[in-house]
Amino acid sequence: MSDAGSASLVYCEDQAKAYDMYLKPKKVNKTAVTKNSYVFYALQLRKNDHGVWAVEKLDSQRGSAKCQP
């Protein structure tokens, strides 16, 4: 946490484990497992006047070396 009202969050996502499904014709779209299926996210958050954490900035990097198994 940077100060009382701000914070940072970083995480990796393996998009090969996420699927889209088209309702018509009920087709599942799977992401192939490649180096680009791993995405690194970095967020900056700030607590608003209602005490709710809100994202101020979001950066992502597909194929990041930080996320490779």
- Residues 11-60 have pLDDT tens digits of 999 988 888 888 888 888 888 889 999 999 999 999 999 999 999 999 99
Gap between the Cα atoms of 37 and 19, Å rounded: 12
- What is the model's pTM? 0.78
Query: Nearest to residue 69, comparing CAs of 26, 22, 17?
Result: 17
| Per-residue confidence (pLDDT) for residue 2, from 0 to 100 | 55
- Predicted confidence (pLDDT) at residue 61 exceeds the cutoff of 90: yes
Six token digits for residue 67: 């996320």
pLDDT at 48: 93
**Cα–Cα distance between 18 and 10 in angstroms, integer?**
19
**Residue extents of the structural domains in the chain:** 6-67
pLDDT recorded at residue 26: 86
